[in-house]
């Protein structure tokens, strides 16, 4: 499982694979490892919430595309992606075959 979390002593969010889970009095403690790293991360992160954000998909190469396109190209690409997301959302919302339950 790949999860999103802020490691101890860090301020940025990391997406790393859980390699082991142990239990302490304060709750579960996970050991993680980045896929590009040869060894496990030096920290052990204690989970303090009932749930953790999980990575469920990725678009390989998308980051390289954003790095390669500079300035107005990035803005246009982001706008296009936003328009596609809005179109897909509207299509889903107004789908006549979708069952609505109103209580």
Q: Which two tokens stand for residue 38?
A: 């040869």
Specify if 21 maps to a domain.
yes
Separation CA 40–CA 32 (nearest Å): 6
Whether 33 and 72 share a structural domain = no
Whether 45 and 75 share a structural domain = no
pLDDT of residue 55: 85
Full residue range of the structural domain in which residue 80 is found: 62-93
Specify if 101 maps to a domain.
no
**Contact (CB, 8 A) for 37 and 50:** no
- Report the domain count for the chain: 2
- Looking at every residue in the chain, the average pLDDT score rounds to 84
Whether 44 and 69 share a structural domain = no
CA distances (Å), origin 9, targets 38, 43, 45: 21, 9, 10
Whether 82 and 39 share a structural domain = no
Of 5 and 82, the structure prediction assigns the larger pLDDT to 82
Whether 66 and 49 share a structural domain = no
pLDDT of residue 43: 86
Q: What is the pTM of this model?
A: 0.53
pLDDT of residue 87: 93
């Amino acid at each position: 499982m790949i999860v999103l979390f802020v490691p101890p002593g860090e301020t940025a969010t990391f997406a790393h694979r859980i390699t082991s889970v142990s239990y302490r009095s304060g709750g579960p403690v996970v050991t993680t490892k980045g896929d590009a790293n040869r060894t496990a991360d030096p920290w052990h992160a204690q989970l303090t919430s009932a749930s953790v954000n999980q990575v469920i998909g990725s678009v390989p190469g998308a980051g390289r595309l954003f790095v390669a396109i500079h300035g107005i190209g990035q803005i246009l690409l982001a706008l296009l992606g936003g328009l596609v997301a809005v179109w897909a959302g509207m299509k889903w919302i107004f789908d006549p075959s979708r069952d609505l339950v109103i209580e």
